Copies of this chain bind each other. A is one copy, B any other.
Amino acid sequence: LSITIHDVARHAGVSVATVSRVLNSSGPVREETRLRIGAVAKRLGYRPNSAARTLKTRKTSTLGVLLPDLFGEFFSEVIRGIDQTAQREGYQLLLSSSHGDVGQIEAAMRAMSGRVDGLIVMSPAVDARSLATNLPSALPVVLLNCRVEGDSFVSVNIDNFGGARDVVQHLIGLGHRGIAMIQGAPGNHDSDERLRGYREALQAAGIAVETRLIIPGDFTEAAGYLAARQILDMQPRPSAVFAANDAMAIGALSAMRDAGISVPDEVAVVGFDDIPIARYLSPPLTSVHTAIDGLGARAVEILCTLLRKEGDPQPIHEILPTQLAIRRSCGAGGPAGNGAVDGSLEVKGP
């Protein structure tokens, strides 16, 4: 029913081999023939059957993307970066997200193997063994924001540690000593690294790390709200709060407002991620700015060099830098307005 290379060949009065040659610019074809075939192909609206092509060449021109069940802003930005870069590189995207446990993600990996040329995996649950047993060993894989054991895989990460350390350092610089932290989801790599950065900053300043100041959370607004209520009840009460992401910071701000606590006058609050609305909050939220779309984009770029076999065979571990976005919620910096309309990024270097 569909139109094939044979139809084109017949209409152009040549063999399928010649048609194939002009389509792929492989092998020599007389200029006149090339033009004629091109015209016929266009006139007939010919589209090469990608299944047949894949069967023959073993190339799918498709990249697989495996994501966990993640949160609004972050998700869309990662995808945006991946999508735009893949498009530019001539790849389609086979997406599978919303994975809770390891079993689901392994099933997705198996379903994708054979249908993609390479894979981008973002999952706190996945490990080297899991990858090895569920994927063809020849399939190039780039790990995104994952805990990486050893050097068996290529990975791209955000500088969670450095970003957290910097923002806590900033709080310390403002004179804060009692600094609470609201943790991200347990077992999550980002979460652990941000906690590590928090610890590092305190220790570097000679401040004791108090366990009671580290409150569990799960990256949701509701968790931030609950954690903040807990923090407000503490004796002595901390003068600053570092939430492991902006969503929890927003929950915390909400809780403080409900409790009649002024931010930043009574308690300073900072977040992580610098989501777009951070600057529109009340007060505008100090956060750690990360180029989330850049994370996705970089992963695709690396994957593509792997596919072209350009890259040196040794594994790459890339870490994307972060920047402090200082606004009013920390009590230092930021004009009275929120700079919403001047178009400036309002992002400052560390």
Contacts and interface: CB of A to CB of B under 8 A. Distances in A.
Interface of A: 1-2, 47, 49-52, 54-55, 60, 62, 65, 69-73, 75-77, 79-80, 83-84, 87, 92-98, 110-115, 136, 138, 221-222, 225-226, 229, 247, 250-251, 253-255, 257-258, 275-277, 279-282, 336-338, 340-341
Given A2-B136, A83-B95, A257-B282, 7 more contacts: A49-B55, A51-B60, A69-B80, A72-B275, A72-B276, A73-B76, A94-B95
A212 to B, nearest CB: 21
A95 B86 CA distance: 11
Contact of A225 (B55, B62, B280): B280
A55 B48 CA distance: 12
B76 A96 contact: no
Contact of A254 (B70, B112, B225, B338): B338
A348 to B, nearest CB: 20
B72 A97 contact: no
Contact of A253 (B55, B93, B115, B282): B282
B340 A225 contact: yes
A83 B98 contact: yes
A74 to B, nearest CB: 8
Given A72-B275, A338-B258, A340-B225, A250 B94 contact: no
Nearest to A280: B254
A87 B255 CA distance: 37
A96 B136 CA distance: 26
Contact of A51 (B51, B73, B225, B251): B51
Contacts of A222: 340-341
17 contacts: A2-B114, A47-B114, A49-B55, A72-B73, A72-B76, A72-B276, A75-B76, A79-B95, A83-B95, A84-B98, A225-B280, A225-B340, A251-B340, A254-B281, A254-B282, A258-B338, A281-B282
A221 B279 CA distance: 10
